[in-house]
Amino acid sequence: MHYRPSFYTPGPPVATFSIVGYDPENSDLGIAVQSKFFAVGAVVPWAEAGVGAIATQSWANTTYGPEGLKLLKIGLTAQQTLDHLIKADSGRESRQVGIVDANGTVANYTGEKCNGWAGAISGKHYTAQGNILTGEDVVNSMGNAFDEAEGELADKLLVALFAGQEKGGDKRGQQSAALLVVRKNGGYSGFNDRYIDIRVDDAEKPIEELHRLLDIHKKFYQR
């Protein structure tokens, strides 16, 4: 497999923090992400119901999304999928990725050339990762918040995002955020699996705006 075309030109690093999670109650899979980066939701989150969810960031290789989902779909675990992706990528040392599979098992990777602070933490049914953060407390707080939160997966992911920001988040500041949750036939009129797909591309306080939009989504779609 080839993941980087010959005409590849690196853009700015998707310095960000994200959490990828799974809900064993209803098999929801999803990602929440925030970054000092324009339209982070167009780059980082990838998910398919009954298959898995992937966050690709730092000097993001966006092929990790569709290629990773293909590997998960044929039965590879989160860790096996991650191993395949990074082995085939010559730019792996600048990548960061978090994966959860349809069974809720997780894997993450932070390349040695990711800008500091960079790292990840994983727990039961989630992995939280980030780069160019104010410190390790960001991902630790996200994990603790996810473990303690109640409600649907979307609520737990958003609570974790707020917790990461409260510890400093992306040390460059805030700009965009996104929340993607997939559920089989959970999209509009049951025609797709995009149960929740909300993006804030450019805002002073994107996580707060994401929260506002999620509340609207619940009132509009979950009546």
pLDDT tens readout for residues 1-58: 444 444 344 566 666 899 999 999 999 999 999 999 999 999 999 999 999 999 999 9
Across the beta sheet with 119-123, the strand order is: 119-123, 126-130, 16-23, 28-35, 176-182, 194-200
Residues 6+ apart with CB under 8 A from 32: 18, 19, 157, 158, 160, 161, 177, 178, 179, 180, 210
CB 10 within 8 Å of CB 147: no
Tokens of 223: 């009546």
Of 157, 131, 132, residue with least CA distance to 145: 157
Q: Which amino acid makes up residue 32?
A: A
Query: Which of helix, strand or coil describes residue 135?
Result: coil
Q: How many CB atoms lie within 10 A of CB 5?
A: 8
Query: What's the pLDDT score for residue 12?
Result: 63
pLDDT of residue 10: 55
DSSP secondary structure, 93-116, as one string: GGEEEEEEETTS-EEEEE-TTSPS
Mean pLDDT rounded to a whole number for the chain: 92
What is the topology classification, in CATH, of domain 16-221? Glutamine Phosphoribosylpyrophosphate, subunit 1, domain 1 (3.60.20)
Tell me the torsion sign for CA atoms 130, 136, 142, 147.
Answer: positive
Residue 209 C-beta-side C-alpha neighbours within 13 Å = 16
Q: What is the DSSP letter of 22?
A: E
- Of the two residues 54 and 172, the one the predictor is more confident about is 54
Structure tokens at 174: 């805030």
pLDDT tens column, 181-196: 999 999 988 999 999 9
CA angle, 167 then 39 then 220, to 5°: 90
